[in-house]
Structure 1
Amino acid sequence: MRLTREGIKDREKWLASGIGLPEFDYESVKDKTKESPVWIHFGAGNIFRALQAPAMQKLLDEGLFDRGLVVCEGFDYEIIDKAYDPYENLSLLMTLGSDGNIRKKVIGSVMESCVLDGSAGKDYGRLKEIFSSPSLEMISFTITEKGYSLRGADGEYTKPVAHDISAGPEKAESYIGKVAALLYHRFKNGAFPVACISMDNCSGNGDLLKKAITEIADGWCGNGCADAGFKEYLNDGTKISFPWTMIDKITPRPDENILKELEDMGVEGLEITVTDKHTCTSGFVNTEETEYLVIEDDFPAGRPPLEKAGFYFTDRETVKKAESMKVTTCLNPVHTSLAVFGCLLGFTKISDEMKDEDLKKLAERIGYKEGLPVADDPGIIKPIDFLDTVIKKRLPNPFLPDTPQRIACDTSKKLPIRFGITVSRYLEGGLDTADLKMIPLVFAGWLRYLTGFDDKGEAMEKSPDPGFSVTDPLMASNPFGSGIKDRKALEELLACKEIFGVDLDKAGLTEKVLKYFEEMNSTPGSVRAVLKKYVNEMN
């Protein structure tokens, strides 16, 4: 069995192997998509193939829509060469259930794939056709938060962006510059309405996308490279919208064990490749079963009925609450808690941590006892149901090889959002911060992590974190095994609102953090002993 349009015509063989197939008329959908495209997506990576593409296939299979997707890759062109072209835009979706079952389905809703290669490229002419089409309703993005950044670490425009602003839309080189140029082409050829939707995992993503595009457009209009009306077009909500979204789905890199299983089933020609830009890709995608995509329902040109594929459409305030529920109480704080203690205790998989009784209790206490009382309730998703899924299905899933070391990256930047907001809500809501036991335990665990030694007393490689420039000098006088040697340095660190997001002293938590840390920073094995003591002390 080969993953090609011709290969899947042998339907009986695929279905007999337990692999689902597309049910729609491919040729009809392909022709209609070419003539009247509706949805183009930028970012051809695994998340798109595991979430947006299957959603569109559901609509096609059920006869609820008649056109498919166009996908464009603007960062790593090799993804198209290695994961789309050899399989004629098909992919194999491997959904890894927490019960040990793997659901397999061929996804064929992508009708065209191309690269954002600029005005001189072979695909750019087709992109201009798509962007000038009155039928286009959705332009969506999964290009990571960095994709919307126009400036470098020095605060100045990157060279490609600076070039784009001075040279104009016809010579755009940066990712966002080329997207802005295509929108300018739409403006010049009818100024038709369309929704531009960031589906990246970052707060206020619609505003990030709008700011990036309008900043370049402002430059063009200011120096005469574009008509002044382009700015008005981008800022006219009846013409162009930038909806907010909340996305949540874990899609690990392709797994060798999954590849072997497919090969044993008789699927030929698949391979896992790593591109020159370090993207790991293949003809198949492995992903978790749980998924959420909450979208602000602001589509001036209309949209496909994606609510029938499981997407949530609502207002901006509800999207904000869904994002806050996930990031500040019901998922991300649990993740970071497991990351800190997982690294200290020598774990390399989050799913293995959930088999550990002490760590499981930590996760439950952080979520149910301390986070849930102040969780935002978006209404469309109940926080308790979301948290139940996290604790009982997602984190214990052995098929998802997520590591505490990966999650521990940039912890200093995560603490203010993942824990500081909860502490602030306790203070603002008149709740007793004395009830917070696990959050200060995590803070103390992170201080212990900063010593660079695990619970065995062996040197441990810390995950990258820009905050080390602040924390390392303050932790140097409190090395592993010294308990608290320099209290003043620790108090100075705990007073950093940029790291903890809240005044811990005002919250009455500083002494508690110091107490926990002193107990943990004594001898090998003390991290486990302290963890066990306090997670079992709570009712």
Structure 2
Amino acid sequence: MKKLYLNLEALEDRDAWEERGIKLPSYPIREVRDDSLDSPRWLHFGAGNIFKMFPARIQDELLDCGMTDCGVSVATSIDIDGIKAQFAAVDNLTLAVGLRSDAQLDLRVVGCVSEVLSAIPSDPDWKRMSSIFKDPHFQLVSYTITEKGYSIYDSSDAFTKSVQEEMSRDPYECKHLMGITCLLLYERYLTGQRPLTLLSMDNLSHNGSVLGSAVKAYAKSWIEGGFMKSSFMSYLEDDTQISFPWSMIDKITPAPDPGVSKMLEDLSFYGTPEHGVAPFTFANAEEAEYLVIEDNFTNGRPKWDKRGVIFTSRDIVEKAETMKVSTCLNPLHTALAVYGCLLSYEKINEEMKDPDLLNLISGLSYKEGLPVVVDPEIIDPKAFLDTVIVERFPNPFLPDTPQRIATDTSQKISVRFGNNILRYREKDETLLDQLVYIPAVIAGWLRYLLGVDDRGEEMVLSPDPMLDHLRDTMSEITFGEDDKNAIEIALTKILSNQRLFGQDLTETVLATKIIQYFRMMNQGKGAVRQFL
């Protein structure tokens, strides 16, 4: 069987690919790329797996259908040489692997990436970056750079030292992507104050506002330093000129999996001759996908709605995000993460075969989540939840781990649990006494922080910026010892932390219940299982 390598020349033998069930672009890739270079309309920062599997893939499908004629330029400000080399090794192609819940693969080569650029002002690519932003037809800048990519503040809400230094000197020396974005917008402003939309597609609450605030913070400092004209700020703040729409994205996209790599080799896909089926040659993700975007585009809008993307109001975007992160997905993920670690599971899909854990997330969502769910109207919360529990989490092709999902839980627990607690309090404070599953997850997280699994063995805890502080607070608690006084003192300190839960839980009946549940799970080996 002929070996398939991911490059433009190899794609010319269409039969060899299609007889293995791999769909190829039907549009002329080289011609589309040349046209996109001549008249760029879309540039994306952060060309990782979610980009390859979702926005780039649907753009490819639109090209196939003749609904668009443009590709996408890709830029990066980190690991520039590595990312450029990886894209070059596969002629800017990607094999997109859809992981179906019936254990089958959907395979498609994505070819719409026209170029890969360094975004650093001192690099040779800056001339090209600048020309893209000055182009009157340029419509859209998008981002999938993770929450850290927007971060310009430290834990005390002051600018980080490196950001302060950048804000005080020549903008062309900056390396933070928020500063780079500001500088590119300034060049567009100087060219003729042309409109542009900047779209964050990261899993980040109010992501458009976060992006806009960071860019404007750089602009304010550089204007005050005399590096930019004061009228530039008016340009940024006029959302008929520069818009930062909010979005909600949902598509579980794990790192390329070795098991999937082996299946691709069985189909005679070998990536590149030098690297084989390396992680950069393919991306894998679940079938289900949701992208809801505020309909606020100032210079033309992509036709992504023809591929299921929903354009709507900011209010509906916020409701869709709240539905997902506070009720129908993220809280369930956290529950499976902390209890999965305690019960020594290594895969989320394996946890879904556990009746006790299935009962836990079903009660958390159907019994205690849906009664206070924020309904976005464009997506039915129960149908969304049914898909999560019946199809998405049990998918054997999604190699997600509880250990990965347990990362940074302290930063997530307020949104994932605190918000629904507040909704119950607003509805009727007495309803809190009826809650079982929400306090059980919080108690499970606290039990997880002891660093001892249900077998009584030490376990490695996932990274978390508050981990040391929380562990110190619980240092007087010993696994298997029901020291009521020590437990109450330590947990009361944590449960009263409004930054963690968005409220002081010791002012509610939940604190007593959470402490009781924790004590039940700290009786010794097997106590967590018995509690569940």
Q: Distance in 1 between matches of 2:329 and 2:273?
A: 33
> Which letter does structure 2 place at the counterpart of 1:57?
D
Q: How many equivalent pairs are there?
A: 525
Matches within 5 A, 1:13-162: 13-118=16-121, 120-153=122-155, 156-158=158-160, 160-162=162-164
Deviations 1:298-318 (A, max 9, x none): 011111211002211111111
1:444 and 2:449 matched: no
Contact 2:372 2:420 in 1 (8 A): yes
Q: Which residue of 1 aligns with 2:518?
A: 517
CA-CA distance at 1:494 after TM superposition: 2.6
Identity of matched residues, %: 45
Which one of 304, 320, 323 corresponds to residue 322 of structure 1?
A: 320
> Which letter does structure 2 place at the counterpart of 1:359?
L
> Could you tell which deviates more after superposition, 174-183 or 497-506?
497-506
Which one of 246, 254, 257 corresponds to residue 248 of structure 2?
A: 246
Q: Distance in 2 between matches of 1:238 and 1:91?
A: 35
CA-CA distance at 1:18 after TM superposition: 0.4
CA-CA distance at 1:8 after TM superposition: 0.4
Q: Distance in 1 between matches of 2:455 and 2:162?
A: 48
Deviations 1:2-33 (A, max 9, x none): 21111101001100010000011223322321
Contact 1:150 1:212 in 2 (8 A): yes
> Which letter does structure 1 place at the counterpart of 2:447?
R
Q: Distance in 2 between matches of 1:294 and 1:328?
A: 17
Q: Distance in 2 between matches of 1:78 and 1:225?
A: 30
> Could you tell which deviates more after superposition, 29-38 or 134-143?
29-38
Q: Which residue of 2 aligns with 1:537?
A: none
Deviations 1:413-447 (A, max 9, x none): 22221111111111101272232111111122222
Matches within 5 A, 1:244-323: 244-270=246-272, 281-323=279-321
With over 3 angstroms needed to count, the CA separation of the structure-2 counterparts of 1:463 and 1:116, relative to structure 1, is same
Q: Distance in 1 between matches of 2:273 and 2:502?
A: 45
> Could you tell which deviates more after superposition, 258-267 or 126-135?
258-267
Q: Distance in 2 between matches of 1:123 and 1:490?
A: 53
**Structure 1, gaps ≥5 residues long:** 274-279, 532-539
Matches within 5 A, 1:73-472: 73-118=76-121, 120-153=122-155, 156-158=158-160, 160-270=162-272, 281-430=279-428, 432-472=431-471
CA-CA distance at 1:110 after TM superposition: 1.2
SS in 2 for 1:282: helix
With over 3 angstroms needed to count, the CA separation of the structure-2 counterparts of 1:373 and 1:271, relative to structure 1, is farther
Q: Which residue of 2 aligns with 1:534?
A: none
CA-CA distance at 1:452 after TM superposition: 2.0
Contact 1:271 1:282 in 2 (8 A): no
SS in 1 for 2:73: strand
CA-CA distance at 1:160 after TM superposition: 4.7
Q: Which residue of 1 aligns with 2:494?
A: 493
SS in 1 for 2:95: strand
CA-CA distance at 1:153 after TM superposition: 4.7
CA-CA distance at 1:187 after TM superposition: 0.8
Contact 1:95 1:286 in 2 (8 A): yes
Q: Distance in 2 between matches of 1:272 and 1:44?
A: 22
Deviations 1:283-335 (A, max 9, x none): 11111111111110101111121100221111111111111111111111111
With over 3 angstroms needed to count, the CA separation of the structure-2 counterparts of 1:468 and 1:28, relative to structure 1, is closer
SS in 2 for 1:209: helix
Contact 1:477 1:485 in 2 (8 A): no
> Could you tell which deviates more after superposition, 293-302 or 483-492?
483-492
Q: Distance in 2 between matches of 1:526 and 1:151?
A: 41
> Which letter does structure 2 place at the counterpart of 1:291?
E
> Could you tell which deviates more after superposition, 512-521 or 397-406?
512-521
> Could you tell which deviates more after superposition, 207-216 or 424-433?
424-433
Q: Superposition RMSD on alpha carbons, in Å? A: 2.0
CA-CA distance at 1:214 after TM superposition: 1.0
Q: Distance in 1 between matches of 2:87 and 2:51?
A: 12
Q: Which residue of 2 aligns with 1:536?
A: none
CA-CA distance at 1:121 after TM superposition: 1.7
> Which letter does structure 1 place at the counterpart of 2:371?
P
Q: Distance in 2 between matches of 1:271 and 1:493?
A: 54
Deviations 1:374-399 (A, max 9, x none): 11111111111111111111111111
SS in 2 for 1:301: coil
SS in 2 for 1:106: strand
Q: Distance in 1 between matches of 2:253 and 2:468?
A: 32
With over 3 angstroms needed to count, the CA separation of the structure-2 counterparts of 1:428 and 1:272, relative to structure 1, is farther
CA-CA distance at 1:158 after TM superposition: 4.2
SS in 1 for 2:471: helix
Contact 1:169 1:184 in 2 (8 A): no
CA-CA distance at 1:169 after TM superposition: 3.2
Q: Which residue of 2 aligns with 1:7?
A: 10
SS in 2 for 1:93: strand
SS in 1 for 2:514: helix
Q: Distance in 2 between matches of 1:271 and 1:484?
A: 62
With over 3 angstroms needed to count, the CA separation of the structure-2 counterparts of 1:37 and 1:372, relative to structure 1, is same
Deviations 1:249-287 (A, max 9, x none): 1211112222222222222344898xxxxxx94111111
**Structure 2, gaps ≥5 residues long:** none
> Which letter does structure 1 place at the counterpart of 2:99?
L
Contact 2:5 2:273 in 1 (8 A): no
Q: Which residue of 1 aligns with 2:476?
A: 477
Contact 2:408 2:465 in 1 (8 A): yes
Q: Distance in 2 between matches of 1:14 and 1:193?
A: 42
Contact 2:77 2:176 in 1 (8 A): no
